[in-house]
Amino acid sequence: MEEYEHELSRVREENAQLRYQKEVSERDYQGVMLENNGLVSKLENLENIFVGAPIQKANGVPGSQIGTERYVATKVSVVAAIE
């Protein structure tokens, strides 16, 4: 019986540690997602500044391009070159 209680105590402690690690992981994930959303917004703003409009999106999926275009920035203007 004492061995059973010891094992039960060990499993409860391990469970508590796993729950804590899960909470930390979820907080980290939320932080990364917020940072990612902020970076997406910054990227879209930069696209508007340098290109005049966001890069085309296929099927509404951000970041996937319909055409193969390379944007070249110069001191005077931004030129879209089709490859």
Map out the domains of the chain as residue ranges: 2-82
pTM for the full model? 0.52
What residue spans of 1-83 are helical by DSSP H? 2-51
How far from chain centre, in Å, is Cα 34?
8
Long-range Cβ contacts of 46-54 (<8 Å, 24+ apart): 50/78, 51/78, 51/80, 52/78
pLDDT tens string 19-40: 999 999 999 999 999 999 999 9
- What pLDDT shows up at residue 51? 84
Q: Per the structure block, which two tokens stand in for 7?
A: 């094992």
- Tell me the C-alpha distance between 54 and 57, whole Å: 8
